[in-house]
Amino acid sequence: MRRYFGLLSLVLIATLVFAFGQEAKPHSAGTAGGSPPSRATVASFLKHMFGFDPGISWTITSIKPSPAAGITEITLDVKTPQKSGQQKIYVLPGNKQTILGEMIPFPGEPGAPKPSDSSINGFVRQATGGVNPAITWTVAEVKPNAISNLTEVTVVLTTPKGQGAVSFLVTADSKWALRGDQSPFAADPFAADRAKLERGLNGPWRGPANAPLTIVEFADLQCPACKMANSEIQRLVADEPKARFVFQQFPLTQIHKWAFKAAEFGDCVYREDPAAFWKFVDGVYGEQEKITADTGNSEDAGKKAETRLIELATAAGADGKKVAACANLPATAERVNQSVELAKKMQVTATPTLFLNGRRVPNLGQLPHDQLKRLADFMAVNK
């Protein structure tokens, strides 16, 4: 069940004893606050989250205040073809976000504005089995009030098997930590993001305007992962002929120095000839490594890439010179920046990121195609 809830970012850590308190001791009683969501809301939330997989079934066994103030604890009995067992979901203060995972005592200092490095180090040391010279870590970031007044802590673990970042949330009183996959919470948990996308979409699109399913991809034309995912996304689009597919530009300019110029060219190719845009994308992906090598990915890589981008626009069926003139207009840069701002509002931090009617697909590339299509079919009729 958990593999569908969000990005399973703890693959590296799962090979260790890092369980953030190997389902530590039972929680002691604590002060709870806020109003727990109704059983009907929880049932609707679970249907939207997991109803697309016929192999998963669940029973709500309890909805009650957790030991942490304002956080509701939902306990489920879950059955899958592989195993059955108990799963907990925590609804955070305000009833707008959830964590599917576990709540563990945290050795914080009451009244401190944020968890100290010493309390974080003590927590991680205990979670990793005590003193172990093979496991080291650094505290990468501490973000107070990151989600529902909880502090988000990110540590970078180094082990003999590699290095990885792990995040967890600490309650305002520094007594509890929550570790697991995050999701919006509501009777329809994806409605808010679906509406946010609809208000902000400005990228190239194809398919019926009133389609029951909108597939949105945030991509960077210089991104190797986007190139790799392109065939899988296009396969999904081909399998969903009634869907609308929207390509939103999200050039990661800190690491990809010609990506913004490619985004401007793409915007202008679409404005001149919508059909040519999709050929242009394929062409740029095909030449991606060569363009990066030729430009050295230097600060002026965008300018250096223009000649090849003109040729690719022409090869796609557009007028390359007109596209180049359009790409250098301030209005074009503004449209690309609007797409970047939408990505940030959607909390997109990497490319490619895919949304199906507002539902983020966080493990694109790991999800088998039949499951991705099943999810798309489900989202088309459940909104």
* Residue that is last in its domain, among 156, 184, 212: 184
Residues 29 and 97 in one domain: yes
Residues 170 and 36 in one domain: yes
Contact yes or no for 90/74 (Cβ under 8 A): yes
Q: In degrees, to the nearest 5, what angle opens at C-alpha 300 toward C-alphas 295 and 304? A: 45
CA distance 176 to 28: 11
Closest of 347, 70, 56 to residue 182, by C-alpha:
347
Beta strands at 243-249 and 72-79: parallel, antiparallel or unpaired: unpaired
Residues 153 and 230 in one domain: no
Closest of 37, 322, 368, 66 to residue 184, by C-alpha:
37
The enclosing domain of 293 has a CATH number of: 3.40.30.10
DSSP 174-215: SSEEEEEEEEE-SSSTTHHHHHHHHHH--S-EES-TT-SEEE
Residues 224 and 177 in one domain: no
DSSP 202-255: -S-EES-TT-SEEEEEEE-TT-HHHHHHHHHHHHHHHH-TTEEEEEEE---TTT
Residues 212 and 281 in one domain: yes
Contact yes or no for 304/258 (Cβ under 8 A): yes
* Residue that is last in its domain, among 153, 184, 215: 184
Residues 52 and 152 in one domain: yes
Residues 136 and 50 in one domain: yes
Residues 17 and 92 in one domain: yes
Question: What is residue 34's predicted lDDT score, i.e. its pLDDT?
Answer: 59
Question: What is residue 27's predicted lDDT score, i.e. its pLDDT?
Answer: 42
Contact yes or no for 272/310 (Cβ under 8 A): no
Question: What is residue 110's predicted lDDT score, i.e. its pLDDT?
Answer: 79
Helix residue ranges per DSSP H, the chain: 11-14, 39-50, 117-127, 191-200, 224-239, 259-272, 274-295, 301-315, 320-327, 330-345, 369-381
Q: Tokens 């989202």 belong to which residue? A: 379
Residues 42 and 170 in one domain: yes
Q: What is the pTM of this model?
A: 0.85
* Residue that is last in its domain, among 114, 149, 184: 184
Contact yes or no for 257/302 (Cβ under 8 A): yes
* CA within 13 Å, CB half, 318: 32
Closest of 300, 306, 335 to residue 320, by C-alpha:
306
Residues 124 and 265 in one domain: no
CA distance 294 to 222: 13
| Residues of the chain under the 50 pLDDT cut | 2-33
Question: What is residue 254's predicted lDDT score, i.e. its pLDDT?
Answer: 95
Closest of 247, 193, 194 to residue 223, by C-alpha:
247
Contact yes or no for 146/39 (Cβ under 8 A): no
Query: What tokens were used for 54?
Result: 């016929």
The range of the structural domain enclosing residue 150 comes to 2-184
Number of domains in the chain: 2
Residues 15 and 73 in one domain: yes
Question: What is residue 162's predicted lDDT score, i.e. its pLDDT?
Answer: 86
Residues 177 and 222 in one domain: no
